Amino acid sequence: MEYRFLGNTGLKVSAIGFGNWLNSDTSDRKQKMIELIKRAYSLGINFFDTAEAYGQGEGEIQFGEAFKALGAPRQELVISSKIFWAVSPTSADIKKVNQIGLSRKHIFEGVKASLKRLQLDYLDIVFCHRFDEDTPLEETAKAFNDLIEQGLIHYWGTSEWSASEIFEVREVCSRLNLVPPVSEQPQYSMIIREKFEVEYGRLFDKYRLGTTVWSPLCSGILTGKYNDGTIPAGSRLQEFKDNIYMKRTYNQYFAEDKKEKLLKLLNALGNVAQKLGCTQSQLAMAWVLANKDVSTAITSATRPEQIEDIVKSVEIVKKITPEVNREIDEILGNKPMPGMDVKSFGLKKNTRRDLMIIKNQF
């Protein structure tokens, strides 16, 4: 396992992290979660991510039981959760209106409830699960600063915030002398890359912002399971077919007018993986990890063997050479255009990702 600093902090996280978003839907997954956590830890994974919204608290309960069964020293684990939705975003219960958002009240009550479910004294990182347009940033930032001073959390971060929102909250923290967010948790994969590679570039350069990226395998689409166009039994799209996000994913990528293009892309990636001597999952994860702006990439699993397979991708990163990266870009056809730089206007300019791949070779 490789360990990376979480942005501009002294905290080291495993390059591959483990999360339990989908696994948290029902309470009958508790024993399975214990087995998964034990295997992940044995393979060197030290970063574990959940949220108050996962299974409406069930995800944190499962993690709490799993950490208790694991029995590892707390100092060896980096545990994060996310605050925004203590209840379903569709809840119309007026009694629960303060259980959504980033008010001081919900942040404090949410974090304390998370700690109770997780059976922990403190959390290493708490992320703002989304941006709250209704709460002043000063209130949100001050609440997290106070949680840090009280020893209930060590760091705080954001999730799916825009670059402008992160710049704004950092300005607030600077003005009020508060601890700023140290990490963003965005989606990033071969298929979803524009925001990470272009929009956040200035944040990485100026602040060395950390990242705990989610869905590096694009909801399992990049694993190779779907290369023939069918949905196999036991796959995520089959097992979690009733999940709203997974339904949207299916419609987005497997609709009849998009399916042919997707399958051509997936099978071409499968050929690249075969040439490199790895699985398609390992190729997709290694591609993400080759970008050093990624502090850790969060994966999940339904079986311990899946964790064993994906951890091997750390060794595949060195095979993502500039030549291989160019071949993958040609297959994907979605390489983002870099932001305009007047100093190099009219000249060929590498993207941040290209530069990362080149640096990895030395």
Q: What is the pLDDT of residue 65?
A: 96
SS3 assignment, position 278:
coil
* Span between the terminal Cα atoms of the chain, in Å: 19
Alpha-helix residue ranges (DSSP H) falling in the chain? 30-42, 58-70, 104-118, 137-149, 163-176, 194, 201-207, 236-239, 244-254, 256-276, 280-289, 304-311, 313-316, 322-332, 352-360
Task: List active site positions.
Answer: 54
Q: What is the pLDDT of residue 94?
A: 79
What are 263-267's contacts with CB under 8 Å, separation 24+?
263/226, 263/227, 263/228, 263/229, 265/331, 265/332, 265/333, 266/221, 266/222, 266/224, 266/226, 266/227, 267/227
Residue-level length of the chain: 362
The DSSP secondary-structure symbol of 164 reads H
SS3 assignment, position 16:
strand
DSSP calls for 132-149: -TTS-HHHHHHHHHHHHH
Alpha carbons 95 and 355: distance in angstroms, whole number: 52
Per-residue pLDDT of the chain (362 residues; tens, 9 = 90+): 999 999 999 999 999 999 998 765 555 678 899 999 999 999 999 999 999 999 999 999 999 999 999 999 999 999 999 999 998 877 778 788 999 999 999 999 999 999 999 999 999 999 999 999 999 999 999 999 999 999 999 999 999 999 999 999 999 999 999 999 999 999 999 999 999 999 999 999 999 999 999 999 998 899 998 898 777 776 666 666 666 766 777 677 777 777 889 999 999 999 999 999 999 999 999 999 999 999 999 999 988 999 999 999 999 999 999 999 999 999 999 999 876 554 444 545 678 888 778 777 65
Alpha carbons 288 and 189: distance in angstroms, whole number: 6
What b/e sequence results for 89-106 when a residue is b if at least 16 CB atoms lie within 10 Å of its CB, and e otherwise?
eeeeeeeeeebbbbbbeb
Alpha carbons 174 and 190: distance in angstroms, whole number: 35
Alpha carbons 116 and 60: distance in angstroms, whole number: 9
In one-letter notation, the amino acid at residue 111 is V
CB–CB of 229/202 below 8 Å? no
In one-letter notation, the amino acid at residue 233 is A
Token pair 């994060």 in the structure block, residue: 80
What are 244-253's contacts with CB under 8 Å, separation 24+?
245/219, 246/22, 246/219, 249/218, 249/219, 249/221, 253/221
Domain 1-185 of CATH type 3.40.50.2300: no
CB–CB of 37/317 below 8 Å? no
